[in-house]
Amino acid sequence: MAEHTLDEYRREAGLSMSDLWLRYFALGGMSTPVELEAYVLGALQPTRHEHNLVAHAINERCLERGDDHPVPYADDAE
């Protein structure tokens, strides 16, 4: 089974790009909204740290909705 993209996870969580960026920034993310969108859409490869911040922002939203946290962290892939 194919792995979901960050954008698929974002959409499943019901987050707009701007909502995701606000959550990511609140967690300490330093990328611009344009850079974050490029990470989420797969146009840029995020660092492990940046991936984990994006994953955490999406997972927090999923937990708020009563769902599991579906986005794997970079360390989980090893």
Residue 63 lies in a domain: yes
Residue 56 belongs to some domain of the structure:
yes
Instruction: Give the pLDDT band of residue 77 (cuts 50, 70, 90).
Output: low
Structure confidence by residue, pLDDT tens digits, 3-47: 789 999 999 999 999 999 999 999 999 999 999 999 999 999 999
Structural domain total, the chain:
1
Two tokens, residue 62: 């999923």
Does 1 map to a domain? Answer: no
Q: Which domain holds residue 34?
A: 6-73
Residue 42 lies in a domain: yes
Q: With 70 as the cut, is the pLDDT of residue 2 above it? A: no
pLDDT single digits (tens) 39-64: 999 999 999 999 999 999 999 999 99
CB 71 within 8 A of CB 20: no
With respect to residue 78, please indicate whether it lies within any of the assigned structural domains. no
Q: Give the per-residue pLDDT at 1.
A: 40
**16 with 49: CB under 8 angstroms?**
no
- Please report whether residue 64 resides in a domain: yes
